Amino acid sequence: MLELIVISTLNGLLFGMLLFLLSSGLTVIFSMMGVLNFAHASFYMLGAFFGFQLTKWIGFWPALLLAPLLVGAIGMAVERYGLRNTHKHGHVAELLLTFGLAFAIEEIVAMMWGRSPVDYRVPALLDFPAFTIFSTNYPAYKIFMLAVSILIFIVLLMVLKRTRVGLIVQAALTHPHMVGHLGHNVGRIFMLVFGVGSALAGIAGVIAGPALVTQSDMAAALGPILFVVIVFGGLGSLPGAFIASLVIGLVQTFAVALNGSLASAFGPLDPSMGPSVLTDIWNVTIAQVAPIVPYLLLVIILIVRPMGLMGTRET
């Protein structure tokens, strides 16, 4: 039992930090620009496939640098030539644009790399067990993923809260005209913010690709959970996204690891009742309901605290 708790905690923290790496970009874009980017998970997928392709050509470590830059450049182009033109029509038009973009990116990726998983492997330098705990070898690459995620969280928080650039970026959202009168190019600031947010998703894709399955539907699999994270944490709140990512990561990982059910806790139902819906529910394991746990948390938080854990009604 202790082994299950320790390993599940490590895996939960890792999954939570990966969620944060993805949701941080989405949260920054929303908090700065008010745009709910449906294509954000697609940028994560692009990062994974760019990382895979560049790794084949020039190796993993250059790919870790170049792939997020490419994704960030695509994100900047989307903001400059797509979102900026639709901005005057309101957020619904922006949302629909990103919604269509997500499907377009998925189909383009499927055409280029196919719909089957690609052979994206862990770099040889990190392909060894970091430590052994309860006879289980924990991969060094997962520790690397955890360290990168924590480092990005600290850097992002410091830049936004403690630097002049971060203050200008935040002021550009609430007082764009004043920032413009001070000589700053507000349009360029928004483009850079969108590019940085997209690049963060790209980094997540590059480092998660070898550990998870890299295939053309990976964005659709992870995208809905990202929106759960940013709503659960509070729209526009970076600390909220961090806490929500860890909570959802840990809860879902433990749910998958646990194999308990009402039948195992209280014993089987009376056989005289025969097969019924109640019998099916009685035998459902926690692992079977694990995929819906994040969405149940979303419903609960919206009922109890509609603004999310650390959000405000103004956001």
Q: What is the maximum span of the chain, computed from C-alpha positions, in angstroms? A: 79
Model confidence band, residue 315 (pLDDT cutoffs 50, 70, 90): very low
Domain membership of residue 93 (yes or no) is yes
Domain membership of residue 51 (yes or no) is yes
CA–chain centroid gap for 119, Å, is 22
Summarize pLDDT for 229-245 with one digit per residue, the tens: 988 888 777 788 889 99
In this predicted structure, what is the pLDDT of residue 55?
Answer: 95
Six-digit token pair at 199? Answer: 């690049």
CATH of the domain at 261: 1.10.3470
| 312 in any annotated domain | no
105 vs 185, more confident: 105
Per residue in 161-214, pLDDT tens? 788 877 777 676 667 677 777 777 778 888 888 899 899 999 999 999 998 889
Cβ atoms 91, 34 nearer than 8 A: yes
236, part of any domain? yes
Tell me, yes or no, if the pTM score tops 0.85.
yes
Most confident of 153-157, 202-206, 288-292: 202-206
Tell me which residue of 188, 148, 186 sits closest to 18, measured CA to CA: 148
Q: HEC states along 234-289?
A: CCCCHHHHHHHHHHHHHHHHHHHHCCCEHHHHHCCCCHHHCCCHHHHHHHCEHHHH
Range of the domain at 126: 1-304
Overall number of domains in the chain: 1
